[in-house]
Chains A and B, each alone.
Chain A
Amino acid sequence: MTTADDHITIRPPSAWQRMMANGQLRMLVIFVPPAIVVFTIFVMLPMLQAGFFAPYKWSGYGPAPWAFNEDTGRDFGTWIGAQNFDRFSGHSAFQTAFKNTILVIAVSLIIQLPIALLLALMIYNNSRINTVFRLIFFLPYIMAEVATGLIFSFVLDGNYGLSKWISDLMGMEEAFFPLAEKPWAFYSILAVIVWKYFGFHMMIYIAGLQSISREMLEAASIDGAKTVQKAVYIQIPLLWPAITISIFYSVLGGLQVFDLVMPMTAGGPSNSSHTLVSYLYNFGFIRLNVGFGSAVGVFLFAVGVIFALVYRNTVQRGQ
């Protein structure tokens, strides 16, 4: 005969109970609110604000475009609906900026990351000479963007820069001014972007390569695998999680290129070297069109979010 007592099973403590018991809850209460407050004030609110400003024609004077200005008897801004979006999408400088941004991403993925991977494969082993090379390759990344831009604006100046030296060396009659020539200006920026950031991706790969177990590589060697075969069949596949992260950074970084463009070309000649962000800054904020700039910002944000969501749910799924 069984009694009711026989059926009593001991249930494991719920997640909630566990958290109460081991102090996790206290940690959450202490640490989460500041993070949420800071994130809300400095990230969420500005993003929402940009969204609210986007349908207005507004110069940036006054607390908000919909605020009433007692001194003039009307609002600070004017509601214009989707006109800001219409305007930038039809603007040739925006189209160029968009193409340029795509180009940055393409070059990062097709040229920069393979270079970084190749170098990482060459110098990931710990040795003194490799450490020196890692430092050298990583140096461009350490430099501030604006400083890099300024340095390259001198290097590429046909009057006194490296460009002049090379032009003279090649016996060209007129010095070459890459930053002043439309076909070259943006490619010069692209070259600097590759030069500046490959070291960063290389470091991600080196960290990934060093975590691959030596036994596996030794086993492959014993089986007769050559260096290239080991790289292609073992190291790169095992490095895939690191590569997906590096692609993620490349694309989002590409969407944000700004500080190199401003000192090098300021978007010129003739608005041919703008990126989305430098376009936003020049046509939105410098020209006192905060509503217009916000609309471009909303577009940029949407592109970034869509990419991040799609990427997380496809390429990085299960990682």
Chain B
Amino acid sequence: MKFVNLTLASAVALTAGMASAEVEVNVLSINRDSENWRTLYEDTVAAYNAANPGVTVNLEFMEDEAFKQKLPTLLQSDAAPDMFFSWSGGVFYEQADQGFLRALPEDVVAEWQQDLSAGGMAALSYNGKFYGAPEASQNVAIWYNKDLAKQVGVDPTAIQTYDDLLDQVKAAKDAGVTPFVVGGQDKWPLHFFYSLIAMRIMGQEGMAASAAGENGGFDNADWVRAGEEYVRLIEMDPFQPGFMGVKYDAATGLWGDGGSLFHLMGDWDLGASRGAASNGGLTDDQLGVIPFPMIEGGKGAITDTLGGASGFVLTKNAPDEAIDFLKTFMGVEAQKRAATEGVYIPTVPSAGGLVEDVILKQFAAIGGASTYHQLFLDQFFGSTLGGAINDVSAQMATGDITPAEAAAQLEETRQFQ
């Protein structure tokens, strides 16, 4: 018995000693297909490990869909990572709400808000608590094909109002050019139209009121009007034939092949369309970007932006060392390198100016001038209501429901949440 006790005691002492000598921080990221993004991560981890004896950061990558499916189980298991990638939005809110995440200490929050990005930090906050550090910011804007604009005889940079946009859509139709390509089967590309129109009509306050269930929630005049303006576009038959059977990847390939005059999509589309196009896609010289136009009588500003905000969040058992590493991982130096190498558009304001790619620069400018950044509605409102927004965007595009029915359906879904 004595012997057993002794062995046990020494084993405990040994593990305790090991624990204090070596802290492991396990990081789970989604796949970073672009080589320089992956290298950036690996270099940051290697440098941190070298500079911090006693801490070992392990970096693991997982394919996006597998990541989404495994995460709920993983977070409840002993194998939960100490930090993981998050798209923010509804799934993140659920994780925070159920207590799977570790909130940052207040002094850390104050420091990071200063050094990183206050807006980005806000995207990774829930009920006044902050859970992670932001990385890339994404913005949605209207891309246009300069060659086709010339062929149609329009100047997209002159678009100020939604009516101007519709005029150019009509001009494109008349000239036999497809105005927009869209991956309708995925639904979310269609929800960009509905979302941006709604944002332009009701502005930040209106959107917040809907989320809070005020003014009838979604069942009010603003949302109905948003649907009506969206249907005005739909009735012009602006999309490529068979758009409801096409996913985003194929649609952006069509865009890269010069398939339409406009494309309403986020900055990530630059790489995606070039990858999916048959001939390398459109060159920087052929591409232009404009913000989504104003809507007459709307309360939103043309500088209000719709997009994503992603980053890394901590899990509830993450050690303090994980907080320290996160600061480096998503830190100013890493983001500056991302900006200069054109890896992504950083959220850190001081890094935004370093973006060199001509197109990404325009998106960085749109993001930099943002007066109100709205997270993608399908993420912002959580998976159920967000999914319903995607549904009604598709149903209006196929003429199945009216704008009033769409608004009523959304409100019904919101009330159930």
A: residues with CB less than 8 A from B are 59-63, 69-72, 76, 83, 87, 93, 156-159, 174-175, 177-182, 185, 265-266, 268-272, 282-283, 286-289
Contacts and interface: CB of A to CB of B under 8 A. Distances in A.
A60 B241 contact: no
Nearest to A160: B250
B416 interface: yes
A175 B245 contact: no
B383 to A, nearest CB: 4
A71 B316 contact: yes
A182 B398 contact: yes
Interface string B232-274: 0000000001111110001000100000000000000000000
Chain B interface residue number, banded: 20 to 34
Contact of A286 (B100, B184, B387, B416): B387
A284 to B, nearest CB: 10
B185 interface: yes
Contact of A62 (B90, B98, B184, B245): B98
Contacts of A181: 242, 244-245
Contacts of B244: 177, 180-182, 268-270
B76 A72 contact: no
B286 to A, nearest CB: 21
A177 B245 contact: yes
Interface in B359-417: 382-384, 387, 391, 394-395, 397-398, 400, 416
Contacts, number: 102
Contacts of A177: 241-242, 244-245
19 contacts: A61-B72, A62-B76, A62-B98, A71-B98, A72-B97, A72-B98, A87-B416, A159-B242, A159-B250, A177-B242, A179-B242, A179-B245, A180-B185, A182-B398, A269-B185, A269-B245, A270-B398, A283-B387, A288-B94
A123 B90 CA distance: 57
Contacts of A265: 185, 245
A288 B91 contact: yes
Q: Which of B72, B76, B245, B250 has the most CB of A within 10 A?
A: B245
9 nearest A-B pairs in the assembled complex, by CB-CB distance: A71-B99, A177-B242, A180-B245, A269-B244, A179-B245, A180-B244, A180-B242, A61-B98, A287-B383
B104 to A, nearest CB: 16
A286 B184 CA distance: 18
A61 B80 CA distance: 13
A289 B386 CA distance: 13
Given A63-B76, A268-B184, A269-B184, A175 B242 contact: yes
B75 interface: yes
Interface string B55-99: 000000000000000001001100000000000001100110111
Q: Which of B184, B185, B246 has the most CB of A within 10 A?
A: B185
A59 B94 contact: yes
A59 B90 CA distance: 11
B187 interface: yes
A268 B76 CA distance: 33
Q: Which of B76, B184, B398 has the most CB of A within 10 A?
A: B398
Contacts of A266: 185
A141 to B, nearest CB: 26
A283 B385 CA distance: 11
A132 to B, nearest CB: 35
Nearest to A285: B69
Contacts of B416: 83, 87
A269 B76 contact: no
A268 B95 CA distance: 29
A158 B99 CA distance: 48
A156 to B, nearest CB: 8
Contact of A270 (B97, B384, B391): B391
Given A71-B316, A270-B400, A180 B184 contact: yes
B398 A286 contact: no
B278 to A, nearest CB: 11
A165 B156 CA distance: 35
